[in-house]
Structure 1
Amino acid sequence: MTLLALGINHRTATVAVREQVAFTPAQLSQALEELRGLPKIIEAAVLSTCNRTELYCVTDAAGEQTVLDWLGRFHGLSVEDLTRCAYHYLDNDAARHLMRVAVGLDSMVLGEPQILGQLKDAYQQARESRGLGGELERLFQHTFAVAKQVRTQTGIGKNPVSVAYAAVSMASRIFDDFGRARALLVGAGETIELVARHLHEAGVRQLTVANRTRERAENISAALGGEAITLSEIPEALEKADIVISSTASPLPIVGKGMMERALKNRRHRPVFMVDIAVPRDIEPEVGELADVFLYTVDDLEVVIQENRRHRQVAADQAESLIEHGVGSWLHERRIRGGGQLIQAYRQHGEALRDLSQEQALERLARGGDPAAIIERLAYQLTNRLMHQPTQAIRDAASREEYRLLDAVPRLLMPPKPAFETHDTAAAPRSAEAPRQKDEKLV
């Protein structure tokens, strides 16, 4: 069996292509059923995120073209176009790729933690759709164990490496009870959406999103149980906000020093953490001069991000080492299982030959044949049947000069003389003459 990983990601395909190849949650069950039903596919799992679509399969042959053709048919895309941006890995390279994906080494943001949860969802979906067998089941479980080891033994996920995550991380250091903090987010773009998600994951439940159009703000806030307001309502919202993070495309500042002074007065000068991610700025620089305001800009965050990238790279190198060890142990276990399966198949073959010879011998006995002759013939037939296939393989190997295979024959088929042969010789039955001689001496 061959393990196959085939897919596209942010490095090999544009957003437009990734959107076309992505599977919606409603499509996954059908996709897994079709994929599992392909002639060469034995097991299958699908991982589909905004940055990657990957298919993990166990095949009985090199089935990458079969899978690629199916992927094109499913999404109505040209196989030639997919081929230009697709990659595939086999066996231990496929296992290594899955482990690197799980720990975030193959992500757009190095070490990002969300991918592991997405991978676990893909595993669960494949299980529910009966796409997993023993091979992928063991690989996913082994991968999750390696990912846990990387997360606990390295700092790959500890240091923020995106502006949104860095802003939230800095805020969490200021508040003792982050879950009770109130957050005001100004803007409704991708960065603010990420900030909102990170804040919610960090425990912030009181969240307000302000935007020029309320509808866009509601798209972000509703999913997180927050509130949506317009920009004109910001002065009142500032009075309640402990955290303010702004990222808009406004050419002029939205929060001025006077507005913030009035808000602080009504807040009774409780401190406010503010991050201005926008360029040009959304918050007047003079706001940072106020005693109860901690104001940071995107430049302040970039210093943190660059330092954290260096820390993460060190952790990434450690993670690569742990992954190599994980691939090695998985490959070792796989070889042991393969040996066990080979032994089982060989024993079944031998038992089938034994049963056939035994059945034929019993038939001859039932017809009144001579037992001694039947036993002799049984031994002769069974020996020939057991030796026929290995003998033919040795002849073929010799004719093709396959010396490595020939060198293995003595070890596999001609082990050292077993101890029972010596035992049988010493304890062999006496000849018919021996007992009579003993009796004659006793007379």
Structure 2
Amino acid sequence: MPLIALGLNHLTAPVSLREQVAFDAAVAPQALDDLVRQPGVEEAMILSTCNRTELYCSVTEGFEAIPGQWLSRQHRLTPQRLDEFLYRHDEQDAVRHMFRVATGLDSMVLGEPQILGQVKDAYQQARSAQSLRAPMERLLQHTFAVAKRVRTDTRIGAHTVSVAYTAVRLAEQVFTDLRQACVLLIGAGETIELAARHLTDKKVRRLIVANRTLENAQELAVRHGGYAIALADLPRHLAEADIVITSTASRLPVVTKQMVADAIAARRRRPMFMVDIAVPRDIEPEVAHLDDVYLYGIDDLKQVIDENRRSRELAAREADAIIDLQVDRYMAWRRALSLRNPAVDMRVAAEAQRDEVLAKAQAMVAKGRSADEALAFLANTLTNKLLHAPSARLRDAALSGDLDLLHAAGRLYGLDPDDDVSA
């Protein structure tokens, strides 16, 4: 049952395509259910973030193309439109890819920690949809253990620069002193929370939080000394903002070109700096054509991020070494699934012999033989039957000098003095 990882990310596809193939939390469960109903798809998980959309699937051999075809149909794209941007990893390469994604080695921000939480969310989503079986369930548990070890054993997480921090740093380059700036944050998720923390550290003059659910905006605003507004009130407050940072899960833009044009006019042409780190985008791309507006998208942050990447490249190489070892271990476990387990056969044979001898002992009692005589027969006969075949093989091994089998038997039965089975 081949394992494949299929998807596109910030390295292979522009944001305009990434937003087309994104799955939000509302549609993902139904999409997962549909995906595992496809011919040959045995297991599936969908990982969809601002920088990537990926399918992880176990499929019946010969059906490897099904997930890619499904992805095209799901988003009403022709295979020709999508194929040139897709990557696909098979078997151990798929395992390695999942490990690298979860540890942040495949992220725009090398080593960023948020992706692990997103992988865990995708896992919980797949569990709720009952789209996982033992192989991928084991793979995900292994993935989380690998990510924890990489964080513990390397410095990949030291001085990481999140997308939120990068947006704030970029704003600081435009507005030299953020203590004089009014910042509007749109959204209330983890990315906006991180941005709010960084802005609070910079002691911004004013902080406004806008969200579709006013209660969520209020909770975030209270924690960081700002004030909250409903998303519906955004047009009335946009002109107050020198800096706008937005990251929502909306499928449609929440900031239109007309809204920004009106805000710039109300500001009497004072410039406005805007960072859209959402996929799909929160700000209409046409806003970039307005005078006195400086709009940056998530792909524009790459240059700033790359400056901080070099300091973590050594840690990334150490992380890759850990990942390579763990890939081998998981694949060994996966290969074992396809092998016949001799322990099962041994137990079945032993139980059959037990039942045969027990029936004879019970028959002895029924014919008037004493219980002690029947028990002695049961113990001696069962011992002889269970040990006959291995004893014959070990006798032949001793005569032929097969030391490997002799040592293996010692370990198997706990008789090898060099093998501490209690360790």
Matches within 5 A, 1:96-111: 96-111=96-111
- Matched positions, count: 295
Q: SS where residue 21 of structure 1 aligns? A: coil
Q: As a proportion of its length, which structure holds more helix?
A: 1
Q: Quick one: structure 1 residues 8 and 190, their matched pair in 2 at CA, closer, same or farther if it must change by over 3 Å?
A: farther
- The Cα shift of 1:185 comes to 5.9
Distance 1:71 1:343, change over 3 A: farther
- 1:195 to 1:128, Cα distance in 2 relative to 1, 3 A: closer
Q: CA RMSD in A?
A: 4.8
SS at match of 2:19: helix
Summarize the Cα distance change of 1:189–1:327 in structure 2 as closer, same or farther, 3 Å threshold.
same
Deviation at 1:337, TM superposition (A): 3.3
State whether residues 166 and 304 of structure 1, in contact with CA within 8 Å, keep that contact through their aligned partners in structure 2. Answer: yes
1:198 equivalent in alignment to 2:222: no
Distance, in Å, in 2 between the alignment partners of 1:329 and 1:232 is 57
Corresponding residue for 2:12? Answer: 12
Name 1:113's counterpart in structure 2: 113
Aligned to 2:124: 124
Shift of 1:310: 2.4
For the residue of structure 1 that corresponds to 2:27, the secondary structure is helix
State whether structure 2 residue 72 is matched by structure 1 residue 64. Answer: no
CA distance in 2, matches of 1:148, 1:96: 15
Could you tell me how far apart the structure 2 residues matched to 1:130 and 1:337 are? Answer: 21
Tell me which residue corresponds to 1:338: 338
Q: Which structure is higher in RCO with an 8 Å CA cutoff and minimum separation 6?
A: 2
Q: Describe how 1:223-302 pairs up with structure 2 within 5 A.
A: 224-225=220-221, 226-227=226-227
Q: Residues of 2 paired with 1:2 and 1:116: CA distance?
A: 24
**Alignment match, 2:327:** 327
Distance (whole Å) between structure 1 residues aligned to residue 109 and residue 119 of structure 2: 16
Distance in structure 2 (CA, Å) of the matches to 1:4 and 1:104: 20
Residue number in structure 2 paired with 1:405? none
Shift of 1:56: 0.7
The offset of 1:66, in angstroms, is 0.9
Q: Take 2:271 and 2:87, find their aligned partners in 1: how far apart are those partners? A: 46
Partners of 1:418 and 1:222 lie apart in 2 by 76
Structure 1 unmatched ranges of 5 or more: 170-182, 235-243, 255-279, 283-301, 359-414, 424-443
| Contact 1:36 1:43 survives alignment (8 Å) | yes
Q: Once the 2 structures are TM-superposed, how far is the Cα of residue 62 of structure 1 from its aligned partner? A: 3.9
Give the superposition deviation at 1:223.
7.4
Residue type matched to 2:8 in 1? Answer: I
Pairing of 1:29-428 with structure 2 (within 5 A): 29-161=29-161, 164-165=164-165, 186-188=182-184, 196-200=192-196, 208-209=206-207, 224-225=220-221, 226-227=226-227, 308-339=308-339, 341=340, 343=342, 347=345, 418-419=393-394
- Distance change >3 Å, CA 50–CA 231, structure 1 → 2: closer
* Greater Cα offset, 151-160 or 120-129: 151-160
**1:220/1:89 CA distance change after superposition, 3 Å:** same
* Contact 2:185 2:208 survives alignment (8 Å): no
Seen in structure 2, the aligned counterparts of structure 1 residues 335 and 307 have a Cα distance that, compared at 3 Å, is same
Please give the secondary structure, in 1, of the residue aligned with 2:84: helix
Distance in structure 1 (CA, Å) of the matches to 2:333 and 2:59: 19
Runs of 4+ more than 3 Å apart: 160-164, 166-169, 187-196, 199-208, 218-223, 228-234, 244-254, 302-308, 341-345, 419-423
Residue aligned with 1:88, SS:
strand
Would the alpha carbon gap of residues 324 and 232 (structure 1) be closer, same or farther in structure 2, given more than 3 Å must change? closer
Q: Which amino acid aligns with 1:102?
A: A
Letter in 1 for 2:207: V
How many Å apart are 1:41 and its aligned residue? 1.1
Larger mean Cα displacement after TM superposition, 307-316 or 92-101 = 307-316
Change (3 A) 1:105 1:422: closer
For the structure 1 residues 185 and 101, does the alpha-carbon distance in structure 2 shift closer, same or farther, using more than 3 Å as the test? farther
Unaligned runs of 5+ in 2: 170-178, 230-236, 246-259, 273-291, 295-301, 357-389, 399-423
Which of 160-169 and 115-124 deviates more?
160-169
Asked whether the 8 Å contact 1:184–1:210 carries over to 2, the reply is no
SS in 1 for 2:338: helix
Q: What is the distance in 2 between the residues matched to 1:69 and 1:219?
A: 41
Matched with 2:248 is none
Report if aligned partners of 1:154, 1:319 keep a CA contact under 8 Å in 2. yes
- Give the Å deviation of 1:33: 1.0
TM-score, with length taken from structure 1: 0.54
Provide the rounded CA distance (Å) in 1 between the counterparts of 2:193 and 2:184: 12
TM-aligned CA deviation for residue 101 of structure 1? 0.5
SS at match of 2:77: coil
Q: Structure 2: how far apart are the matches of 1:19 and 1:303?
A: 21
Whether contact under 8 Å (1:41, 1:63) holds in the other structure is yes
In the alignment, the residues of structure 1 paired with residue 45 and residue 86 of structure 2 have an alpha-carbon distance, to the nearest angstrom, of: 17
**2: distance between equivalents of 1:33 and 1:305?**
37
Larger radius of gyration: 1
Q: CA deviation at 1:191?
A: 13
Partner residue of 1:176? none
Which residue of 2 is the match for residue 440 of structure 1? Answer: none
Q: Specify whether residues 42 and 210 from structure 1 end up closer, same or farther in structure 2 by C-alpha distance, changes over 3 A only.
A: closer
| Partner Cα separation in structure 2 for residue 54 and residue 306 of structure 1 | 23
1:146 positional shift: 0.5
Instruction: Measure, in 2, the Cα distance between the counterparts of 1:164 and 1:421.
Output: 70
Q: How many angstroms apart in 2 are the aligned matches of 1:323 and 1:57?
A: 20
* Whole-Å separation in 2 of the counterparts to 1:136 and 1:203: 40
Separation of aligned partners in 1, 2:106 and 2:22: 18
SS at the partner of 2:20? helix
